[in-house]
């Protein structure tokens, strides 16, 4: 496996870090976070997202001044690995002010999102 291919995979959250191949997007789900503008606290424990997020159908359902969380389930067709990308952002008019992004291979979090 070439160095370039490896380096490329590092910059693609949706590439399998083991196979260095693009993964398939299985599901997208938007959540409201119980944090308001100016009071953002970083949470890197996947359990936080299982316990504290509220699923919403669209961005318009996020109360004004509250943070949103976009989640994306990716599946690697080669090795069968499933990961979740979490992107926390503040919806501002037509834009998204991204605060943080995480990548988890956490079974509970995958199941939580898949069951919505
Ligand atoms: Zn893989």
| Å from CA of 94 to ligand 1 middle | 35
Residues 6+ apart with CB under 8 A from 76: 16, 18, 19, 21, 23, 24, 82
Q: Which helix (H) or strand (E) holds 50?
A: helix 46-52
For the beta carbon of residue 42, count every other beta carbon within 10 angstroms. Answer: 9
Question: Rounded distance, CA 28 to CA 73, Å?
Answer: 7
Q: Which residues of the chain have pLDDT under 50?
A: 1
| Å from CA of 82 to ligand 1 middle | 9
Question: Rounded distance, CA 20 to CA 15, Å?
Answer: 6
pTM: 0.88
Q: Can you give the pLDDT at residue 54?
A: 98
Q: Can you give the pLDDT at residue 1?
A: 47
| Å from CA of 11 to ligand 1 middle | 16
Question: Rounded distance, CA 22 to CA 76, Å?
Answer: 7
Q: Can you give the pLDDT at residue 2?
A: 65
- Residue 38 belongs to what domain range? 3-114
Q: Both tokens of residue 82?
A: 């499933």
| Å from CA of 105 to ligand 1 middle | 12
Structural domains counted in the chain? 1
| Å from CA of 13 to ligand 1 middle | 12
Question: Rounded distance, CA 68 to CA 31, Å?
Answer: 6
| Å from CA of 68 to ligand 1 middle | 29
């Amino acid at each position: 496996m070439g160095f370039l291919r490896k380096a490329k995979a590092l910059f693609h959250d949706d590439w399998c870090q083991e196979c260095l191949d693009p993964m398939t997007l299985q599901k997208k789900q938007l959540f409201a976070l119980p944090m308001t503008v100016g009071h953002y606290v970083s949470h890197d424990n996947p359990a936080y997202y299982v316990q504290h997020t509220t699923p919403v159908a669209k961005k318009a359902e996020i109360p004004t001044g509250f943070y949103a969380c976009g989640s994306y389930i990716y599946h690697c067709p080669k090795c069968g690995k499933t990961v979740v990308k979490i992107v926390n952002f503040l919806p501002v008019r037509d834009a998204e002010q991204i605060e943080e992004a995480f990548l988890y291979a956490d079974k509970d979090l995958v199941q939580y999102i898949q069951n919505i």
